[in-house]
Protein backbone atom coordinates (compact mmCIF):
# COMPACT_ATOMS: atom_id res chain seq x y z
CA UNK A 1 0.00 0.00 0.00
CA UNK A 2 1.39 3.45 -0.94
CA UNK A 3 2.36 5.76 1.89
CA UNK A 4 0.62 9.17 1.91
CA UNK A 5 2.89 11.96 3.13
CA UNK A 6 1.88 14.99 5.16
CA UNK A 7 2.55 17.26 2.19
CA UNK A 8 0.33 15.13 -0.05
CA UNK A 9 -2.47 15.31 2.47
CA UNK A 10 -2.00 19.07 2.69
CA UNK A 11 -2.20 19.34 -1.11
CA UNK A 12 -5.39 17.24 -1.03
CA UNK A 13 -6.90 19.60 1.49
CA UNK A 14 -6.03 22.66 -0.61
CA UNK A 15 -7.64 21.01 -3.64
CA UNK A 16 -10.77 20.09 -1.68
CA UNK A 17 -11.05 23.26 0.34
CA UNK A 18 -9.22 25.88 -1.71
CA UNK A 19 -6.96 26.78 1.22
CA UNK A 20 -4.26 29.35 0.71
CA UNK A 21 -0.62 28.50 1.32
CA UNK A 22 0.79 28.92 4.86
CA UNK A 23 1.45 32.55 5.66
CA UNK A 24 -0.95 33.95 3.03
CA UNK A 25 -3.70 35.98 4.70
CA UNK A 26 -7.30 35.78 3.55
CA UNK A 27 -8.96 39.17 3.05
CA UNK A 28 -12.40 37.98 4.19
CA UNK A 29 -12.94 35.04 6.55
CA UNK A 30 -14.78 32.22 4.82
CA UNK A 31 -16.73 29.31 6.24
CA UNK A 32 -14.51 26.20 5.89
CA UNK A 33 -15.56 23.41 3.56
CA UNK A 34 -17.27 21.36 6.26
CA UNK A 35 -20.68 19.74 6.31
CA UNK A 36 -22.92 18.07 8.87
CA UNK A 37 -21.65 14.61 7.92
CA UNK A 38 -17.89 14.45 8.71
CA UNK A 39 -15.52 13.58 5.88
CA UNK A 40 -12.50 11.64 7.11
CA UNK A 41 -10.36 12.53 4.07
CA UNK A 42 -10.99 16.25 4.55
CA UNK A 43 -10.35 15.95 8.28
CA UNK A 44 -7.02 14.19 7.81
CA UNK A 45 -5.99 16.65 5.11
CA UNK A 46 -7.00 19.67 7.19
CA UNK A 47 -5.05 18.30 10.16
CA UNK A 48 -1.99 17.68 8.00
CA UNK A 49 -2.17 21.18 6.54
CA UNK A 50 -2.47 22.88 9.93
CA UNK A 51 0.38 20.85 11.44
CA UNK A 52 2.58 21.55 8.44
CA UNK A 53 1.85 25.26 8.76
CA UNK A 54 2.55 25.25 12.50
CA UNK A 55 4.40 22.18 13.85
CA UNK A 56 4.30 23.68 17.36
CA UNK A 57 0.55 23.09 17.75
CA UNK A 58 0.93 19.82 19.72
CA UNK A 59 3.14 21.71 22.20
CA UNK A 60 0.49 24.33 22.96
CA UNK A 61 -0.09 24.70 26.74
CA UNK A 62 -3.48 23.62 28.02
CA UNK A 63 -5.85 26.46 28.96
CA UNK A 64 -5.41 27.71 32.52
CA UNK A 65 -7.04 25.38 35.02
CA UNK A 66 -7.56 22.48 32.61
CA UNK A 67 -6.03 19.17 33.78
CA UNK A 68 -3.45 17.12 31.90
CA UNK A 69 -5.54 14.01 32.50
CA UNK A 70 -9.00 13.25 33.86
CA UNK A 71 -9.30 10.37 36.33
CA UNK A 72 -12.88 9.16 36.84
CA UNK A 73 -15.33 6.33 36.14
CA UNK A 74 -16.56 8.69 33.41
CA UNK A 75 -13.33 7.96 31.49
CA UNK A 76 -14.02 4.78 29.53
CA UNK A 77 -13.79 3.17 26.10
CA UNK A 78 -16.38 0.99 24.43
CA UNK A 79 -13.97 -1.94 24.62
CA UNK A 80 -13.98 -1.66 28.43
CA UNK A 81 -17.54 -3.01 28.58
CA UNK A 82 -18.07 -6.74 28.09
CA UNK A 83 -21.57 -7.47 29.43
CA UNK A 84 -24.64 -5.26 29.09
CA UNK A 85 -25.81 -6.44 32.51
CA UNK A 86 -23.31 -3.88 33.82
CA UNK A 87 -25.53 -1.03 32.60
CA UNK A 88 -28.98 -2.58 31.99
CA UNK A 89 -31.58 -2.93 34.73
CA UNK A 90 -34.34 -5.32 33.59
CA UNK A 91 -37.69 -4.56 35.20
CA UNK A 92 -39.11 -7.46 37.23
CA UNK A 93 -42.77 -8.53 37.34
CA UNK A 94 -43.11 -6.83 40.75
CA UNK A 95 -41.57 -3.65 39.30
CA UNK A 96 -44.12 -3.69 36.49
CA UNK A 97 -46.97 -4.23 38.96
CA UNK A 98 -45.72 -1.24 40.96
CA UNK A 99 -45.59 0.89 37.80
CA UNK A 100 -49.16 -0.15 36.90
CA UNK A 101 -50.28 0.81 40.39
CA UNK A 102 -48.56 4.19 40.15
CA UNK A 103 -50.26 4.84 36.81
CA UNK A 104 -53.65 4.03 38.34
CA UNK A 105 -52.87 6.32 41.29
CA UNK A 106 -51.94 9.24 39.02
CA UNK A 107 -55.01 8.72 36.85
CA UNK A 108 -57.16 8.87 39.99
CA UNK A 109 -55.79 12.31 40.85
CA UNK A 110 -57.18 13.81 37.61
CA UNK A 111 -54.19 16.13 37.21
CA UNK A 112 -52.46 17.51 34.07
CA UNK A 113 -49.61 15.36 32.74
CA UNK A 114 -47.13 18.06 33.69
CA UNK A 115 -47.74 17.25 37.35
CA UNK A 116 -46.40 13.70 37.06
CA UNK A 117 -43.72 13.52 39.76
CA UNK A 118 -42.40 11.32 42.54
CA UNK A 119 -45.23 12.62 44.72
CA UNK A 120 -47.97 11.72 42.25
CA UNK A 121 -46.38 8.56 40.80
CA UNK A 122 -45.36 6.51 43.87
CA UNK A 123 -42.72 3.80 43.38
CA UNK A 124 -41.69 2.77 46.90
CA UNK A 125 -39.59 -0.25 45.81
CA UNK A 126 -38.46 0.71 42.30
CA UNK A 127 -37.82 4.32 43.29
CA UNK A 128 -34.55 3.58 45.16
CA UNK A 129 -33.31 1.59 42.14
CA UNK A 130 -33.98 4.59 39.92
CA UNK A 131 -32.23 6.85 42.43
CA UNK A 132 -29.21 4.57 42.05
CA UNK A 133 -29.33 5.11 38.30
CA UNK A 134 -29.33 8.86 38.92
CA UNK A 135 -26.21 8.56 41.08
CA UNK A 136 -24.54 6.43 38.41
CA UNK A 137 -25.18 9.14 35.82
CA UNK A 138 -23.63 11.88 37.94
CA UNK A 139 -20.73 10.14 39.68
CA UNK A 140 -20.34 6.77 37.93
CA UNK A 141 -20.00 5.73 34.29
CA UNK A 142 -22.58 8.29 33.07
CA UNK A 143 -25.16 6.00 31.41
CA UNK A 144 -27.75 3.33 32.21
CA UNK A 145 -30.62 1.53 30.50
CA UNK A 146 -33.95 0.57 32.06
CA UNK A 147 -35.38 -2.38 30.15
CA UNK A 148 -38.88 -3.73 29.79
CA UNK A 149 -41.55 -0.99 29.73
CA UNK A 150 -44.48 -2.84 28.07
CA UNK A 151 -45.32 -0.06 25.63
CA UNK A 152 -47.80 -2.18 23.67
CA UNK A 153 -49.90 -2.85 26.78
CA UNK A 154 -50.88 0.80 27.29
CA UNK A 155 -52.33 3.72 25.37
CA UNK A 156 -49.89 6.32 24.04
CA UNK A 157 -50.85 8.75 26.81
CA UNK A 158 -50.45 6.09 29.48
CA UNK A 159 -46.98 5.22 28.13
CA UNK A 160 -45.98 8.87 28.40
CA UNK A 161 -47.30 9.10 31.96
CA UNK A 162 -45.25 6.02 32.87
CA UNK A 163 -42.19 7.42 31.09
CA UNK A 164 -42.46 10.75 32.89
CA UNK A 165 -43.26 9.13 36.24
CA UNK A 166 -40.38 6.65 36.17
CA UNK A 167 -37.99 9.33 34.89
CA UNK A 168 -38.94 11.75 37.68
CA UNK A 169 -36.90 9.53 40.02
CA UNK A 170 -33.83 9.99 37.80
CA UNK A 171 -34.32 13.74 37.28
CA UNK A 172 -37.04 15.68 39.06
CA UNK A 173 -37.15 18.50 36.47
CA UNK A 174 -38.19 18.20 32.83
CA UNK A 175 -36.87 20.75 30.32
CA UNK A 176 -38.98 22.66 27.83
CA UNK A 177 -38.00 21.38 24.39
CA UNK A 178 -40.43 23.53 22.40
CA UNK A 179 -41.04 26.95 23.88
CA UNK A 180 -43.88 27.72 21.45
CA UNK A 181 -46.05 24.91 22.82
CA UNK A 182 -44.66 24.22 26.28
CA UNK A 183 -43.62 20.82 24.99
CA UNK A 184 -41.38 18.79 27.28
CA UNK A 185 -41.48 15.57 25.24
CA UNK A 186 -40.01 15.32 21.73
CA UNK A 187 -40.50 12.63 19.12
CA UNK A 188 -37.49 11.22 17.26
CA UNK A 189 -38.86 9.66 14.07
CA UNK A 190 -38.36 9.77 10.31
CA UNK A 191 -40.90 12.30 9.03
CA UNK A 192 -39.42 12.75 5.56
CA UNK A 193 -42.51 11.13 3.99
CA UNK A 194 -44.73 13.71 5.72
CA UNK A 195 -42.67 16.90 5.38
CA UNK A 196 -40.74 18.35 2.46
CA UNK A 197 -36.97 18.17 2.99
CA UNK A 198 -36.87 21.97 3.19
CA UNK A 199 -39.07 21.82 6.30
CA UNK A 200 -36.69 19.52 8.19
CA UNK A 201 -33.69 21.12 9.87
CA UNK A 202 -32.41 18.27 12.05
CA UNK A 203 -31.43 14.65 11.36
CA UNK A 204 -33.72 13.44 14.17
CA UNK A 205 -36.59 13.56 11.65
CA UNK A 206 -34.82 11.60 8.91
CA UNK A 207 -33.24 8.17 8.49
CA UNK A 208 -29.81 9.82 8.26
CA UNK A 209 -26.91 8.97 10.49
CA UNK A 210 -26.65 11.32 13.47
CA UNK A 211 -23.07 12.29 14.26
CA UNK A 212 -21.71 12.44 17.81
CA UNK A 213 -23.08 15.40 19.74
CA UNK A 214 -24.84 16.37 22.93
CA UNK A 215 -28.37 17.66 23.42
CA UNK A 216 -29.28 20.47 25.83
CA UNK A 217 -29.46 20.07 29.59
CA UNK A 218 -28.10 17.66 32.20
CA UNK A 219 -29.61 14.28 31.31
CA UNK A 220 -30.92 13.01 28.00
CA UNK A 221 -33.50 10.24 28.25
CA UNK A 222 -34.84 8.23 25.31
CA UNK A 223 -37.70 5.71 25.32
CA UNK A 224 -37.96 3.30 22.38
CA UNK A 225 -41.56 2.92 21.26
CA UNK A 226 -40.41 0.92 18.24
CA UNK A 227 -37.12 -0.05 16.62
CA UNK A 228 -36.09 0.07 12.94
CA UNK A 229 -36.26 -2.82 10.51
CA UNK A 230 -32.52 -2.39 9.96
CA UNK A 231 -29.82 -0.14 11.42
CA UNK A 232 -30.38 2.76 13.80
CA UNK A 233 -27.83 1.49 16.33
CA UNK A 234 -27.54 3.83 19.29
CA UNK A 235 -23.96 4.79 20.20
CA UNK A 236 -22.46 6.65 23.15
CA UNK A 237 -18.91 7.78 23.86
CA UNK A 238 -17.08 9.30 26.83
CA UNK A 239 -16.18 12.94 26.18
CA UNK A 240 -13.76 12.60 29.13
CA UNK A 241 -11.85 9.88 27.26
CA UNK A 242 -11.78 12.09 24.17
CA UNK A 243 -10.45 14.94 26.30
CA UNK A 244 -7.59 12.79 27.61
CA UNK A 245 -6.61 11.91 24.05
CA UNK A 246 -6.62 15.58 23.03
CA UNK A 247 -4.72 16.68 26.16
CA UNK A 248 -1.98 14.20 25.31
CA UNK A 249 -1.78 14.69 21.55
CA UNK A 250 -3.48 17.98 20.56
CA UNK A 251 -3.83 20.37 23.49
CA UNK A 252 -4.21 23.22 20.99
CA UNK A 253 -7.63 21.85 20.09
CA UNK A 254 -8.67 21.99 23.76
CA UNK A 255 -7.65 25.66 23.66
CA UNK A 256 -9.81 26.07 20.54
CA UNK A 257 -12.78 24.29 22.11
CA UNK A 258 -12.56 26.40 25.27
CA UNK A 259 -12.85 29.70 23.35
CA UNK A 260 -16.15 31.28 22.16
CA UNK A 261 -17.72 29.80 19.02
CA UNK A 262 -20.45 31.38 16.82
CA UNK A 263 -23.55 29.22 17.40
CA UNK A 264 -26.11 29.78 14.63
CA UNK A 265 -29.62 30.52 15.96
CA UNK A 266 -31.06 29.99 12.43
CA UNK A 267 -33.01 33.22 12.20
CA UNK A 268 -33.29 33.88 15.91
CA UNK A 269 -32.56 37.08 17.78
CA UNK A 270 -29.63 37.50 18.09
CA UNK A 271 -28.68 35.74 14.83
CA UNK A 272 -25.86 33.90 16.60
CA UNK A 273 -24.57 33.36 20.13
CA UNK A 274 -20.95 33.07 21.23
CA UNK A 275 -19.72 30.71 23.91
CA UNK A 276 -17.30 27.79 24.30
CA UNK A 277 -18.04 24.17 23.50
CA UNK A 278 -15.95 23.02 26.42
CA UNK A 279 -15.67 24.12 30.04
CA UNK A 280 -13.95 22.87 33.18
CA UNK A 281 -15.60 23.74 36.49
CA UNK A 282 -15.29 22.21 39.97
CA UNK A 283 -13.12 19.35 38.68
CA UNK A 284 -15.65 18.43 36.00
CA UNK A 285 -15.36 18.65 32.24
CA UNK A 286 -18.58 19.89 30.62
CA UNK A 287 -19.23 19.80 26.89
CA UNK A 288 -22.37 21.02 25.12
CA UNK A 289 -22.73 21.29 21.36
CA UNK A 290 -24.58 20.08 18.29
CA UNK A 291 -22.60 19.99 15.04
CA UNK A 292 -25.49 21.41 13.02
CA UNK A 293 -25.14 24.70 14.95
CA UNK A 294 -21.93 25.26 12.96
CA UNK A 295 -22.66 23.48 9.68
CA UNK A 296 -26.43 23.63 9.28
CA UNK A 297 -28.53 20.66 8.17
CA UNK A 298 -30.87 20.24 5.21
CA UNK A 299 -33.72 22.80 5.62
CA UNK A 300 -31.61 24.88 8.00
CA UNK A 301 -28.35 25.70 6.21
CA UNK A 302 -25.86 27.84 8.10
CA UNK A 303 -27.13 31.42 8.12
CA UNK A 304 -25.54 34.01 5.87
CA UNK A 305 -24.07 37.10 7.48
CA UNK A 306 -22.86 35.51 10.70
CA UNK A 307 -19.20 34.84 11.52
CA UNK A 308 -17.80 31.66 10.00
CA UNK A 309 -16.04 29.09 12.10
CA UNK A 310 -12.27 28.95 11.71
CA UNK A 311 -10.12 26.22 10.19
CA UNK A 312 -9.01 25.32 13.72
CA UNK A 313 -12.64 25.01 14.80
CA UNK A 314 -13.46 22.90 11.75
CA UNK A 315 -10.62 20.55 12.62
CA UNK A 316 -11.75 20.43 16.26
CA UNK A 317 -15.33 19.54 15.26
CA UNK A 318 -14.19 16.64 13.09
CA UNK A 319 -11.68 15.50 15.70
CA UNK A 320 -14.38 15.31 18.36
CA UNK A 321 -16.50 13.15 16.08
CA UNK A 322 -13.82 10.74 14.91
CA UNK A 323 -12.34 10.28 18.40
CA UNK A 324 -15.83 9.73 19.85
CA UNK A 325 -16.37 7.13 17.13
CA UNK A 326 -13.05 5.47 18.01
CA UNK A 327 -13.97 5.07 21.70
CA UNK A 328 -17.72 4.45 21.26
CA UNK A 329 -19.98 1.82 22.80
CA UNK A 330 -22.91 0.50 20.76
CA UNK A 331 -26.09 -0.15 22.73
CA UNK A 332 -28.67 -2.81 21.95
CA UNK A 333 -31.63 -0.44 22.18
CA UNK A 334 -34.79 -2.55 22.37
CA UNK A 335 -38.48 -1.69 22.24
CA UNK A 336 -39.53 -0.61 25.73
CA UNK A 337 -36.00 0.43 26.79
CA UNK A 338 -35.32 3.78 28.44
CA UNK A 339 -31.78 5.05 27.93
CA UNK A 340 -30.42 7.59 30.44
CA UNK A 341 -27.20 9.46 29.62
CA UNK A 342 -25.22 12.20 31.37
CA UNK A 343 -25.53 14.78 28.62
CA UNK A 344 -22.68 16.87 30.04
CA UNK A 345 -20.03 14.15 29.77
CA UNK A 346 -21.21 11.57 27.22
CA UNK A 347 -21.65 12.05 23.46
CA UNK A 348 -24.37 10.16 21.64
CA UNK A 349 -25.00 9.26 18.00
CA UNK A 350 -26.92 6.79 15.87
CA UNK A 351 -26.42 4.91 12.65
CA UNK A 352 -28.65 5.50 9.67
CA UNK A 353 -31.58 3.11 9.44
CA UNK A 354 -34.33 1.59 7.32
CA UNK A 355 -37.98 1.25 8.33
CA UNK A 356 -40.63 -1.06 6.94
CA UNK A 357 -44.37 -1.53 7.56
CA UNK A 358 -43.81 -3.69 10.64
CA UNK A 359 -40.89 -1.77 12.15
CA UNK A 360 -40.83 2.03 12.20
CA UNK A 361 -38.17 3.46 14.47
CA UNK A 362 -39.81 5.80 16.96
CA UNK A 363 -38.21 7.24 20.10
CA UNK A 364 -39.45 9.88 22.50
CA UNK A 365 -37.15 12.13 24.49
CA UNK A 366 -37.06 13.95 27.81
CA UNK A 367 -34.35 16.32 29.00
CA UNK A 368 -34.01 15.92 32.76
CA UNK A 369 -32.27 17.58 35.70
CA UNK A 370 -31.72 16.13 39.16
CA UNK A 371 -31.49 19.17 41.42
CA UNK A 372 -29.97 17.19 44.29
CA UNK A 373 -27.14 15.67 42.22
CA UNK A 374 -26.78 18.25 39.44
CA UNK A 375 -23.38 19.56 38.45
CA UNK A 376 -22.64 23.27 38.66
CA UNK A 377 -23.18 24.80 35.22
CA UNK A 378 -20.75 27.33 33.68
CA UNK A 379 -22.09 30.88 33.66
CA UNK A 380 -22.26 30.95 29.85
CA UNK A 381 -24.81 28.09 29.92
CA UNK A 382 -26.93 29.42 32.78
CA UNK A 383 -29.37 31.51 30.66
CA UNK A 384 -30.23 28.43 28.62
CA UNK A 385 -30.66 26.32 31.79
CA UNK A 386 -33.04 28.92 33.20
CA UNK A 387 -35.08 28.75 30.01
CA UNK A 388 -35.02 24.97 29.86
CA UNK A 389 -35.87 24.08 33.44
CA UNK A 390 -37.28 27.12 35.22
CA UNK A 391 -39.34 29.10 32.70
CA UNK A 392 -42.59 27.10 32.70
CA UNK A 393 -44.88 25.97 35.51
CA UNK A 394 -45.29 22.20 35.62
CA UNK A 395 -49.05 22.25 35.05
CA UNK A 396 -48.46 24.04 31.71
CA UNK A 397 -46.14 21.37 30.35
CA UNK A 398 -47.45 19.57 27.26
CA UNK A 399 -46.75 16.10 25.86
CA UNK A 400 -47.32 15.77 22.10
CA UNK A 401 -48.97 12.40 21.54
CA UNK A 402 -48.13 12.25 17.82
CA UNK A 403 -44.80 12.90 16.06
CA UNK A 404 -44.11 16.49 15.09
CA UNK A 405 -41.06 18.61 14.31
CA UNK A 406 -40.23 20.81 17.26
CA UNK A 407 -40.05 24.51 16.48
CA UNK A 408 -36.27 24.82 16.74
CA UNK A 409 -35.75 22.09 14.13
CA UNK A 410 -38.14 23.30 11.44
CA UNK A 411 -36.70 24.56 8.21
CA UNK A 412 -36.49 28.34 8.46
CA UNK A 413 -37.67 28.19 12.09
CA UNK A 414 -37.47 31.20 14.39
CA UNK A 415 -36.72 30.44 18.03
Average pLDDT over residues 310-331: 98
What CATH number belongs to 86-240+330-402? 3.60.130.10
Model confidence band, residue 94 (pLDDT cutoffs 50, 70, 90): very high
- Count the neighbouring beta carbons within 10 Å of the beta carbon of residue 81: 15
SS3 state of residue 258: coil
Task: Please give the pLDDT value at position 1.
Answer: 38
Give the start-to-end residue ranges of the domains of the chain. 86-240+330-402
Task: Say if residues 104 and 122 touch (Cβ distance below 8 Å).
Answer: no
- Reported as a single tens digit per residue, the pLDDT across 173-186 is 999 999 989 999 99
State the Cα–Cα distance between residues 205 and 409, nearest whole angstrom. 9
Task: Say if residues 13 and 48 touch (Cβ distance below 8 Å).
Answer: yes
Model confidence band, residue 411 (pLDDT cutoffs 50, 70, 90): confident
Which residues lie closer than 8 Å to 207 by C-beta, 6 or more apart?
Answer: 190, 192, 352, 353, 354, 355
Taking the alpha carbons of 375, 378, 379, 385 in that order, is the dihedral positive or negative? negative
Question: Is pLDDT above 50 for 16?
Answer: no
- Reported as a single tens digit per residue, the pLDDT across 245-275 is 999 999 999 999 999 999 999 999 999 999 9
Average pLDDT, the chain: 93
pTM: 0.92
Model confidence band, residue 398 (pLDDT cutoffs 50, 70, 90): very high
Task: Please give the pLDDT value at position 20.
Answer: 46
Model confidence band, residue 414 (pLDDT cutoffs 50, 70, 90): very low
Task: Please give the pLDDT value at position 2.
Answer: 40
Question: Is pLDDT above 70 for 124?
Answer: yes
Model confidence band, residue 4 (pLDDT cutoffs 50, 70, 90): very low
- Reported as a single tens digit per residue, the pLDDT across 19-44 is 544 554 546 789 999 999 999 999 99
Question: Is pLDDT above 70 for 10?
Answer: no
Average pLDDT over residues 231-244: 97
Amino acid sequence: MATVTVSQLADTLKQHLNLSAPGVKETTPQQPDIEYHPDRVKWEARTAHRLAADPSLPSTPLPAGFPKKLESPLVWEGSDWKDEKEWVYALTPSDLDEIAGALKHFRGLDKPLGLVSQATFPLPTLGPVLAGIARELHSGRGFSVLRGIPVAAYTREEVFIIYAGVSSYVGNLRAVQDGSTGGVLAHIKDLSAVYDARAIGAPAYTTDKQVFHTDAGDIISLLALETAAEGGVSKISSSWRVYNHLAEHRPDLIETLSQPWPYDTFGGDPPYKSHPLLGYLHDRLIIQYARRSFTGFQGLPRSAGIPPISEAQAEALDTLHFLAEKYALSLDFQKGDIQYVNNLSVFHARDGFRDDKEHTRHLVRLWLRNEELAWTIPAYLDPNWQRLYYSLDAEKQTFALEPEIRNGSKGGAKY
